[in-house]
Structure 1
C-alpha cells in the first residue's frame, strides 16, 4: 500500500520496496505502455488566433506573427508520421495509448478513429497542448469537458485516462474523479501504478516517464540517433525485466507523432519492439488495460480518512 498523499504532502515512501504481488497476464515480468502523444493542431499558433506560437520544438527563431515554419513541423505528425507509426505497430500486433489533445482530435478526427479501428486506446491530454498550472477550477473543468466531448464525438466513447501537459493543479484529480476517469498519468515517481486518495476514495495513477521518451531528441539532445534511443529504452526494459522476476514492473515509452515519426528515428521504435518480442516477458498493453488489470488485482487502500484533490 502507498502512504497517504494529499495536496499539501509529498510521498517519499511509496511501496517501500514491498509492492503488491500483482501478476501480469501471461506471466509477463514487465507491463510496457507505449504512449503516442497526439498534439498536432492543439499547440499555440498565431495562425489559429493565439497570441503566440508554440516555442517547444526544433525551431530556434521565434516569430511574433504567423510562423509557417513551426506550423508545418507540427503538421508533419498527421500528414506523414501517423501512418508509418501505426503500420509498424500493426506489424508487431502491439497496442498503444494515443494520448490526444481534444482540439487535435476535433481537427483531425480521422486519426483518432483510425487509432480505435486498429485497437488502440485514445486517452485525454487536455483540450489544448498547455500546462494547467494556474487554472481556476471552473476553467480547468471546462477544458476537461471540452476535451472529453471532442474525443467522444470522434471515437464514440469517452476517454478513461488523462495526462496533463507539464503541471496539473491541486484540483485536477478531484475534477477527474467527478468525471469518472479510470486513471491519470500525472506522476513520474514510480515504476508501478499506485493509488492516491481523492474525495474519500482511492484513485489510480499510472506513472509516466520523461527519460524513456523521444522528447529527449529535441529538449536535451540526449539522443542524437535512433540507435541511442533504442539502446536506452532496451536497457531500461532489461533492468526492469530482471527485477520483474520477483516483483511486478511497468515501463512507459513516450512518443510524439512529429518526433519519433521522422524516418531517421523510426528505426529506434522498430528496434525496441523487436527487442521486446525477442526477450519475451513483456506485456505490451494500453494504459487502460494496465489500469483495469491493476484495479482487478491490487489491494486498494482505505482512502476515506485522507481526501485529496
Structure 2
C-alpha cells in the first residue's frame, strides 16, 4: 500500500448526484447488533492479546457470556417494539455454541453478515490463503445455518488486512463495513472488478467505542445518537444519508443503559421519511439504482494521470 489505502477514489461529499431512497426517505437507518463469541483461552496471536487481564480472563469472558445469555433477548425485544430488523455482525462460531440465538433471529427475518469465526481470532499475521480459508468458512457456516449467503463483512475485532475486501468479494460478498470514511454508500475497488461497495457503519455511534473507549455515560450516548440522527436527517433532505448504530448485547443491553438506547430508537423511528432497513437492503438498492451513476461522477471528477 502507498500513502492511501487504495480501496476507493477520493469523492467529495458535496455536489454528488442526489441519492434517493425508497419512498423518498431522507435517511436509511439500520442497527447492527454484533453477536459474538469470545474464547476464554484462544490461540495466542503475537500481534494482539485477546484480554487485558492475565489468563484466565474471567471478567471479560463473563460479561460477553452475559450478552448472549441475557442481553441478546433484551435487545431483541426492544428492536421488535420499534419494528427494526437487526443486521447481525455474526461471529459464526455462535451457530454451534448458541444455535437458539440464530433461530430467534431467523424467526424475525434478521440479516446475518460475517464477522469472522471467533472475535478472539484475528486477521493479523494470517497469510492470504489462511484469511481466505477463514472467510470461506464463515460464509459457508452462515449459509448452512440460515439458508442464505451473507452479503456483508466486518473483520473480526476490526482486524482488517489489505486482502480482506478482495477475498470477500471473490466469495460473492457485495459490501463491507470495514471502511468508516463516508455517510453514504460508496463504490469500492476490488481486484476481481466485481461490483462492491462500502455501507456506512459508524465507529463513533458504536456502543463499545462510546462506553469503553470514550467512557461516556448512558444518557450522553443516547443524546449522541439523537444528535447524529438530526444532522444526517437534515442533510438527507438534499441527498439520502445512512445512519448505523452498531451495538453489542453485553454493552447497550445492560439494565442501566437500555433506557437511553430505547429513547434514541423511539426518537429516530418517530420521524417520517426514515427507511428502517438492513445493511443488505441498503447495499442491494444502491448497487441497482445508484452505483453506475456514482462511478460516472467519480470518473468525471478524477483528473487524468498523465
Contact 2:26–2:273 (CA<8 Å) still a contact in 1?
Answer: yes
Is 1:71 the counterpart of 2:64? The answer is no
Contact 1:100–1:124 (CA<8 Å) still a contact in 2?
Answer: yes
148 and 7 in structure 1: CA distance in 2 versus 1, 3 angstrom threshold: farther
| 1:59 aligned residue | none
Q: Between Structure 1 and Structure 2, how many residues are aligned?
A: 289
Is 1:32 the counterpart of 2:25? The answer is no
| 2:303 aligned residue | none
Contact 1:106–1:154 (CA<8 Å) still a contact in 2?
Answer: no
Q: State the distance in 2 between where 1:147 and 1:105 align.
A: 10
Where 1:192 maps in the other structure, the secondary structure is coil
Is 1:14 the counterpart of 2:17? The answer is no
Is 1:45 the counterpart of 2:40? The answer is yes
| 2:302 aligned residue | none
Shift of 1:81: 0.7
| 2:200 aligned residue | 207
292 and 249 in structure 1: CA distance in 2 versus 1, 3 angstrom threshold: same
Q: How does 1:124-163 map to 2 (within 5 A)?
A: 124-129=114-119, 130-163=121-154
Q: State the distance in 1 between where 2:185 and 2:251 align.
A: 27
Is 1:117 the counterpart of 2:113? The answer is no
| 1:222 aligned residue | 215
Where 1:197 maps in the other structure, the secondary structure is coil
Contact 2:187–2:291 (CA<8 Å) still a contact in 1?
Answer: no
Contact 2:204–2:210 (CA<8 Å) still a contact in 1?
Answer: no
Report the aligned-residue RMSD: 2.4
Shift of 1:84: 1.1
Is 1:236 the counterpart of 2:228? The answer is yes
Q: Deviations over 1:89-117 (max 9, x none)?
A: 11111112011011123211221221121
Q: State the distance in 1 between where 2:211 and 2:270 align.
A: 29
Q: State the distance in 1 between where 2:100 and 2:126 align.
A: 30
Q: State the distance in 1 between where 2:125 and 2:4 align.
A: 15
Where 1:259 maps in the other structure, the secondary structure is coil
Q: State the distance in 2 between where 1:44 and 1:157 align.
A: 26
Q: State the distance in 2 between where 1:128 and 1:111 align.
A: 16
Shift of 1:6: 11
Where 1:260 maps in the other structure, the secondary structure is coil
Structure 1 runs of 4+ off > 3 angstroms? 5-12, 49-54
Q: Deviations over 1:276-297 (max 9, x none)?
A: 1222222111100111111111
Is 1:180 the counterpart of 2:172? The answer is yes
Contact 1:116–1:122 (CA<8 Å) still a contact in 2?
Answer: no
TM-score normalised per structure 2: 0.87
Where 2:125 maps in the other structure, the secondary structure is coil
Q: State the distance in 2 between where 1:33 and 1:86 align.
A: 14
Q: State the distance in 2 between where 1:54 and 1:280 align.
A: 43
Q: State the distance in 2 between where 1:16 and 1:279 align.
A: 24
Q: Deviations over 1:41-84 (max 9, x none)?
A: 2x2422xx54487326xxxxx123x2333222111011101111
Q: State the distance in 2 between where 1:20 and 1:269 align.
A: 33
Where 1:126 maps in the other structure, the secondary structure is coil
Where 2:123 maps in the other structure, the secondary structure is coil
| 1:291 aligned residue | 283
Is 1:275 the counterpart of 2:275? The answer is no
